[in-house]
Amino acid sequence: MKIAYISSYPPRECGIATFNHNLLRAIGFNKNAVSEESFVVAMNDADSIDEYEYPKEVKYIIRQENQKDYIRAADYINTSLADACILEHEYGIYGGESGVYILPLIARLQKPLITIFHTILKDPNHMQLTVLREIAKYSSRIVVMSHRAVGFLTSIYGIPYHKIQLIEHGVPDLEPKENNPVKNSIAFKGKKVLFTFGLISRNKGLETVIEALPAIVEKNPDVMYVILGTTHPGVIRNSGEEYRDSLKRLAKSLNVEANLTFINKFVSEEELHDYLTACDMYITPYLNEAQITSGTLSYAVGAGAAVVSTPYWHAQELLSDQRGKLFDFKKSAELAEIVNELFADESKLKELKANAFEYGLHLRWPSTGDVFVDVLNEAIDKYLSEKETGGKPIIDPDIMPAFNLAHIQRLTDDTGIVQHAKYGIPNLKEGYCVDDNARALILTILAYQQNKSKVALDLLPIYLSYIQYMQCDDGNFRNFLSFRREYLDEVGTEDSFGRTIWSLGYLINNAPNNSYREFAKELFLRSVPHFQ
């Protein structure tokens, strides 16, 4: 099984990039099922394809705002020998409004698509809702990482439950080191360490921890708060190190600058694991409740850290059953109280670590990779089965008669198409209706588009003329007309009105000449007041 991945990818510093790198390796652990020739289509956040020095598994690069790159990437994947495609989805890594540029790519794919949604919004705008629904429509399976995400997809986005697979965020398959080098580092040695890591930006709420430090230091003067990570590249581009500098000024104003250490680097997973197993508590003070997945939180739990966090969605779920502690958003006093209580009760601190470590065992990447392999196999089997079924038409087109409009011509006179026929003979007693003439108008447009039928072109103005004759002075439409050309109603049904508007709109968009388009547009615009 050969897999094509669409995602950001290292060395780009991005949580999705790291996740996809780990997923590729985790799925690749299953040598019996997965080919070493699996490859990555990498998303670039720059105009140059030379922005990053990618490893050999990256075979194609998409520049985020270059729409042609997406089309070429789809063609590349289709001509490869990939059996399936995995799409890592985060609105911000794809171009266009709400990442809409990814849609033409997946629409052209001729492979089963498995999509991993990293962000699922509770209150999406129209574009965000539309983009996610379209991606889901083209996906054979959808993977999310929390129970809440499953609920959002079904209740808010209307995605069928059977399409969704819950697979929790994977974590490194590492054990604590007996001689952890981090414990002997300057920031950790002889200290009670509070720790946070990740790309730094204002929504991380790091100021909440710094504001809690005076009350913590008062009871635990040997406390050190260590913040590991570089500033988010997007933040650097827009405002430099403004946020980091503001945190330093805040610590100085509170006289806790000696209890704060920044380690400004992007570390390997092994080194990160050393930090997590060396710290006393891991803190995620995020400000936004609407975070449905947090890789940093998963890593901390997987490493067996004692986690103290604000109650964003993923934290509520992952830290339940005594796997961590929660404090309210921006409540530094509450955070200080929890930290001091845990430092005062070492048994409670050890219990949190043990519970987290035990739960984290089933999150390790090899186990997660095996679940993904099962999902891939199911998606591929279903895709091939549907493709095989779809390749056998229910009716052999070779035995079908050639397309012709003879019966439509028989039912049509110079007024319009009659409502009914009996044994193929027009039943003139039933007269005409705008409903059927709207249908006939759409039929003739399609017949001309697909077959260049001159007969269709001759019939089209008859149906259009009938619709015009049935329009009232106020723009609404009557429906029924007798064979004697007498109106049989004053106003038609909502159903007939809707179908008439549909036919006019279809003609405006697909008119064979400008005269028909303008004629239809006049009728359409006159009817607009009745849309409500």
* Residues 432/481, Cβ–Cβ less than 8 Å: yes
pLDDT tens digits, residue range 422-477? 999 999 999 999 999 999 999 999 999 888 889 999 999 999 999 999 999 999 99
Residue 30: helix, strand or coil by DSSP?
Answer: coil
Looking at residue 389, its pLDDT comes to 67
Q: In 482-513, where does DSSP find H-type helix?
A: 494-510
**Cβ within 8 Å of residue 397, ≥6 positions away:** none
* Residues 55/20, Cβ–Cβ less than 8 Å: no
* Strand (E) or helix (H) holding 197: strand 192-197
Looking at residue 46, its pLDDT comes to 85
First-last CA distance in the chain: 54
Distance, CA of 508 to chain centre: 34
pLDDT tens digits, residue range 315-331? 999 999 999 999 999 99
Q: Please list the ranges in the chain whose pLDDT falls under 50.
A: 392, 398
Any bridge partners for residue 86, and if so which? 5, 114
Report long-range pairs for 261-265 (Cβ below 8 Å, ≥24 apart).
Answer: 261/187, 261/224, 261/225, 261/226, 261/227, 262/227, 263/187, 263/226, 263/227, 263/228, 263/229, 264/229, 264/230, 264/231, 265/228, 265/229, 265/230
Any bridge partners for residue 306, and if so which? none
pLDDT tens digits, residue range 407-418? 999 999 999 999
Looking at residue 395, its pLDDT comes to 55
**Cβ within 8 Å of residue 204, ≥6 positions away:** 196, 198, 285, 286, 287
pLDDT tens digits, residue range 327-370? 999 999 999 999 999 999 999 999 999 999 999 999 999 999 99
- Domains in the chain, CATH or no CATH each: 3-170+366-386 (3.40.50.2000), 181-363 (3.40.50.2000), 401-530 (1.50.10.20)
Any bridge partners for residue 62, and if so which? 43
Looking at residue 390, its pLDDT comes to 63
Looking at residue 235, its pLDDT comes to 83
> Hey, which bits of 69-187 come out as E strands?
84-89, 113-117, 141-144, 164-166
